[in-house]
Amino acid sequence: MQKLTIALAGQPNVGKSSLINAISSSRLKVGNFSGVTVDKTEVAFKWCDEASCSDYEMSIIDLPGAYSLSDYTIEEKVAKKFIQSDEYDLIVNVVDATNLQRNLLFTAELLESGKKVVVALNMMDEADKEGIKIDEKLLSEILGVTCIKTSASEKSGIDELKSAIVAAYKNDGYTSKVKYSDHIEEEIAKIVDFFKEKKYKKDISYRILAIKLLKEDSETYKMMHDEPIWIELLPLIRASLEHIYIHSDSKDIEQIFRDEHFAFAKGAKMEAMEISSMRAKNFTQKIDNILINKFLGIPLFLFFMWGLFQLTFTLGAIPVDMIDEFFTSIGVASKSVFGEGALGSLIGDGIVPGVGAVIMFLPNIIILFIGIALLETTGYMSRVAFLLDGFFHRFGLHGKSFIPLVTGFGCSVPAYMVARTLKNERERLITLFIIGFMSCGARLPVYVLFVGAFFSQENAGSILFLIYIAGAFFGLVAAKVLKMFVFKGENEPFVMEMPKYRLPSLKLVWHTVYSQAKSYLKKAGTFILAASMLVWFASNYPKDEALTNQYQVQIEHAASPEIQIELQNELKKISLENSYLGKTGYVLEPFFRPLGFDWKMSVAIGTGLAAKEVVVSTMGVLYSLGEDVTEEDQGLMEKIKAEIPFASAISFIVFVMIYLPCLAASMVFVKEAGSWKYLWYLFLFTTTTAWIMSFLVYRAVLIL
């Protein structure tokens, strides 16, 4: 017969004593905990586990009711000391089902102890009367421990609880799932990685040890102080705490973790519990009743995001024009300094525009990140993620996926970075794969050019809106396909933290925006610069000196400036046709011909792999109008309308909407996905999808 000692823990008035009486009719043994006058209630009984045909002698020790594992009261000190001891085998956490959120605050602390835990959702009879429904299976998956519905008064769920106790006792692979905000999880991961690198040996898990160190647990610090790795570990802990302080706008580590437990408990409650009728009891609940209302929530979110994007592109357009003019003047000046030769062209047409392409979008990205940081620090983003969670789950995504997807409408580079907030590997990869379906700002010039050429001004706005909605729809369908055939598996529920509403911290907003902008310049700048130089080289070489000299003679003897410009543009067109880029277009033409593309459109698609902004300027060169044309250039619109059939134009728009993002975004994708192989998969997936959809649209338009 195996002996099993159980610690019965819970907050006051959760029915622990009644549950003991329901579990066993044995006589209670009452004494005191060692060194204190607090009552120690203990009961022993025998139970046969039919599943394993084993007999157990169970001993339950009823710990004093405690709201937390702190030292505020004598009862909490006793409970904390016993929980930290090795005098028992597992914990049964008794939870009042009618006050789930408040009780889960204590549950979170018990899960951090590293001990085996079973949760008894007690008083379910009263919860049913109050219209409270709890999905205990979902809650079990969220917490990582077994949750059993019980009612001590009706003696229901008692046998299930005993079976769960035995199963947890036998389970050696126990892991709880208490999750924290991203900045704390980031610091936990750093400390865990440090322990792994040092191959540090300890009975407690690395994660639990890291949490105790960040919580400044005195017993853990005393234990670690004499360890050889302490000298290396201490600076790492200090740096982690400083990072946490910045995000929390406080240095009270106890309060920081209390707020984290509150966010976790509220998120778990909102995921797993439904109430037929609920009255708002405080300010937070009153706001939540509006912001996550099933009728008002999504329209309010769309309004806020519309406002954010209006600010992003309206305010961002002011410095963008100034930056564009600045780099244009530098390009002209560099050519005057270095001449019109290869070096001057490389600097003036390659390097300077490459740097400008990065800096030009920085104001938009900064404004976008400021808006997102404000929404996140106030606690609103978590509410929207919860609101959209059910809808997104249908497509194999999590509610948190909406943040990187929405960011993708601005720029794919920061969107890929934001996706790291998704902790589930499978859902994060699916999100990364479909971010490119959200039409980024760089695709907008291409849409404006083709919509302006083929549709009336009255319908242009509606067509643009339809293009963006269609891209998002394709993305969700693609997510479903990836979920069904590639990243298979059940959706793993994990709680979305519900922090308290608070005023945004300017220090935190500055820290977030500065680090993101710095990361953008560091990662994106390098690749856009390299891509611009590559496009410059491919479009300028090999040189045909004889042809150039022939045209130069004609240009010099031209009768008027208009004829000179026409000859210059014609020279650029012929040079581009004979360049590496033009030859590549002719090679690609058979692949794109079924979509209605000629070699010029194929070249434009190819240059778009470097940066989507290059597509318009490439078409300007291809149609002999020069490379300085914009998407609103009437001459280019007329040329495109004259030379490109309507069906081919629609097919082109669909392909641009879906195919691989720019080179900069692709490199950041590799960084976030964790392997180069995923970029190859992304290229195949997006190119195949774009080709099939463009082919279907092309044929459909021809038929219509």
Q: What is the CATH number of the domain that holds 34?
A: 3.40.50.300
Say if residue 117 is in the same domain as residue 212. no
Same domain as 215, residue 159: no
Q: Which helix (H) or strand (E) segment is 117 a member of?
A: strand 117-122
pLDDT score at 122: 92
User: What size, in residues, is the chain?
Assistant: 704
Residues 254 and 130 in one domain: no
Q: What is the pLDDT of residues 611-651, one digit of tens each?
A: 777 777 777 666 644 444 454 446 677 878 888 899 999 99
| Residue 580 and residue 698 share a domain | yes
Please check whether residue 669 is in contact with residue 416, taking contact to mean a CB–CB distance below 8 angstroms: yes
178 closest CA partner among 207, 206, 203: 207
Q: Residue 3: pLDDT band by 50, 70, 90 thresholds?
A: confident
CA–CA gap between residue 103 and residue 94 (Å, rounded):
9
Residue pLDDT, tens place only, 486-528: 887 666 555 555 666 777 777 777 877 887 677 667 655 665 5
Structural contact between residues 273 and 133, judged by C-beta atoms closer than 8 angstroms: yes
Q: How many helices (H) and strands (E) does the chain have?
A: 31, 9
| Beta strand extents in 178-269 (DSSP E only) | none
Residue 74 resides in a domain: yes
In a domain, 679, yes or no: no
pLDDT above 70 (res 595): yes
**117 with 236, same domain?**
no
Lowest mean pLDDT among 276-285, 634-643, 647-656: 276-285
Q: Are 396 and 482 in contact (CB under 8 A)?
A: yes
Tell me what pLDDT residue 622 has: 67
pLDDT at 626: 45
* Confidence check: pLDDT of 159 > 80: yes
Residue where a domain stops, chosen among 170, 196, 222: 170
Structure tokens at 597: 């593309």
CA 515 to chain CA centroid, nearest Å: 16
Q: Is 596 left (phi over 0), alpha (psi -120 to 50) or beta?
A: left
Say if CB 247 and CB 181 are below 8 A apart.
Answer: yes
Residue 351 lies in a domain: no
Q: What angle do CA 203, 205, 207 make, to 5 degrees?
A: 155
As a whole number, mean pLDDT of residues 370-389 equals 77
- In the chain, the percentage of residues whose pLDDT exceeds 70 is 85
pLDDT band of residue 283 (cuts 50, 70, 90) is low
pLDDT at 116 over 80: yes
Q: How confident is the model at residue 213 (pLDDT cuts 50, 70, 90)?
A: very high
**Does one domain contain both 154 and 204?**
no
Question: For residues 657 and 374, which has the higher predicted lDDT (pLDDT)?
Answer: 657
Shared domain for 158 and 235, answered yes or no, is no
Label each residue of 131-178 as H, E or C.
CEEECHHHHHHHHCCCEEECECCCCECHHHHHHHHHHHHHCCCCCCCC
Domain membership of residue 76 (yes or no) is yes
Spatial CA neighbour of 524 closest among 420, 673, 664: 664
d(CA 255, CA 244): 12
Q: Does some domain include residue 400?
A: no
- Could you tell me if 117 and 198 lie in one domain? no
Rounded percentage of the chain residues whose pLDDT exceeds 90: 18
Same domain, 154 and 235: no
Nearest in space to 351 (alpha carbons), one of 525, 522, 517, 524: 525
Cβ-based neighbour number of residue 144 at 10 Å = 15
The predicted structure's pLDDT at residue 474: 92
Q: Helix or strand or coil: residue 666? A: helix
CATH number of the domain to which 211 belongs: 1.10.287
- Rounded Cα distance between 421 and 257, Å, is 19
Domain presence at residue 487: no
What is the rounded distance in angstroms from the CA atom of residue 175 to the CA atom of residue 189?
Answer: 16
Q: Is residue 488 part of a domain?
A: no
pLDDT at 533 over 60: yes
Instruction: Give yes or no: residues 24 and 113 share one domain.
Output: yes
- Mean pLDDT, to the nearest integer, of 34-48? 73
Residue 72, domain extent: 2-170
- Cross-sheet strand order for the sheet of 2-10: 29-32, 39-49, 54-62, 2-10, 90-96, 117-122, 147-149
pLDDT digits (tens, 9 = 90+) for 446-486: 887 888 888 877 777 778 778 888 888 899 999 999 988 88
The larger pLDDT score, comparing residue 33 to residue 597, is at 597
Which burial class, exposed, middle or buried, applies to 338 when counting CB atoms under 10 A from its CB (0-12, 13-18, 19+)? Answer: middle
557 within some domain: yes
Q: How confident is the model at residue 691 (pLDDT cuts 50, 70, 90)?
A: very high
Distance CA 569, CA 668 (A): 36
Same-domain check for residues 158 and 189: no
Average confidence score pLDDT of the chain: 81
Query: How do residues 407-420 score in pLDDT, each as one tens digit?
Result: 787 678 778 877 87
Same domain flag for 551 and 698: yes
Give the count of domains, the chain.
Answer: 3
Contact yes or no for 666/660 (Cβ under 8 A) = yes
Q: What is the pTM of this model?
A: 0.60
